Chain A
Amino acid sequence: MSAAESTTGGTTGGTADVTAESTAGGTTHSTTAPPRPTARPPGFGLLRTGRRASFLLHRRAALVALALTAATAAVCVAYLCLGESFIAPADAVKALLHTQYGIGQPTPNDLVVGTLRLPRMTLGLLVGAAFGIAGALIQTVARNPLASPDIIGVTQGASAVTVGAMTYGVTAFAVLPYLSVAGGLAAAALVYVFAWRGGLQATRFVLIGIGFAVALRSITQLFLTKGDYLVAQQAKVWMTGSLNGRGWDEAIPLGWALLFLLPAVLWAARAQRTVSMDDDTATALGVRLGRVRLGLATLGIVLAAMATGAAGPVDFVALLAPQIARRMTRTAQIPLLCSALTGAFIVVAADLLARKLFAPIELPVGVLTAAVGAPYLIYLLLTSGGRGRSGRNGGTTA
């Protein structure tokens, strides 16, 4: 290549390739595809800030994040409006502004919107986001799309400790969430320690997690049969995961914790990239695998334990949200932001259904999360063909 050619290539590269690629983005690539203007991974846009800083941004993931935000906002509005009494969106907004920010006049809907629905919805958003990220991180570390907090013992640890505490007379709602967080963390830590053998092997991690989960589940059952009938029933509700009767008391600490963990989540979003290869390749590329995995797993476990502490083990969110998000974005990694948004959407939508479906009887949200997420995941699995599937074989043939 001559000097002239290389300079033109270098100067036009910055602007021209963006449009060229975005038009070719979704199409299938035939043999007559024009020569690539850049060696940059396809589907990524380049953000330059300052002289040296540069960030790769997955275009489709960014669009999906925007769409998910819009969808979640829409379901939130519906959540505030629908219920035993219908409140028009405009009135709901008025009540929201008055109760939260003191803007405008008191309205007759203040109690329903501001005190009953809003705190519960906020908790749903936070719990969903936390489970979404936790599931994404645990699936990344375990290299298994079926891994989730209930596979590696977080949920069962939280259940065992919480139900145990209930059985022995601890019923204070100020204490129970902290106990279940502690239980989840302790169980996951034990799994991690037992799975560690000079390094963390993904299969071992999952298998030992399953073992612990089974053992802890029987301990929980033991407590349930041992304890009082009423306590057992209360415990059952907790174990299904419910937002009923919960609100700011749970949402505020969880919100602060998520904010506090945000830098760690940002780190994880980048670090995730590095652990998706096999161990040898990742090490050869200069990744400190042990540390990165420990960091990712710890973050995922902490998030899952906190979400479980706030709302009980809301089933399937951590399992479904990352897989749905990934199939929508078609990225090589599980996208963290989109997982969080998907999780938040699923929980709020499921809780809306849980309140509305058999009103006035309320179902625990955990019963419906799977009903909301699973059909969509199945649809994606059926329609997405070779994109985003796991495993090396199968899928589309060229």
Chain B
Amino acid sequence: MSAANLKEASMTDRRSFIARALAGASTLFLTGCYDLSEKRWFTHFLGKVEDLTRTAQHLFAGPHTLAPEYTKADIAPVFRANGTLDPGTPEYQKHVANNFQDWRVTVSGLVDHPLSLSMADIRALPARTQITRHDCVEGWSCIGEWTGAPLALILAAAKPRPEARYVVFYCADPMTVEGDPEHFYYESLELSEAAHPQTILAYQMNGADLAVAHGAPVRIRAERQLGYKQPKYVERIVLVDDLKSIEGGKGGYWEDQGYTWYGGI
């Protein structure tokens, strides 16, 4: 072996050593981070960060600032439907068959005046139409036009009690949780976010009745929140003072799967 070859070989050795050392360091780092992700104290710390983010965003956004609204020209030609595309249960199919004439949205829990609203009742309320941007937690956005009844009007009619802090939405789409099919999508918002002027119980999208894939007959639009905070197929609205006793205790289907309850970022 010539001297040049030897040098070449030692260079290659050194390079592969450096590459292996880097790969090893990266693996060690990643394994460490993965282990941390499953440690109780670390997830507790991440929960504190979520509180910090929520507090900071509340400070800047306040209860009344409006999400940007767009023009008809900005409306997406194809608005992606995500999550449940069709609840598919026999009960839901019956509602589809009779055009949701018997669909009711109830308001109960910590209210003085429980309500049971038909679709006609909801449509009879003063409507708000808004062209807004839907931001999915996955990263994509679509702009669409939504028409519906401001949730603030419905909540006001139900007269929330002073101790009510959260508004929980129970939906008609079944979600399988660990092989148990008896779970349905649910979500929750702070009372102030639920009463935000752009939070509506939407029954129209782009001028037409909501399609099944988009949550027919009614879905929540909460325009300062990510998509998973805006449940579709809403049947029951319940005001509560605490989320811990509901389902997985985290305030929503995706929250119970590890997503943050605060969905403003």
Q: Are A and B co-members of a single complex?
A: no
List the interface of chain A (C-beta within 8 A of B).
Answer: none
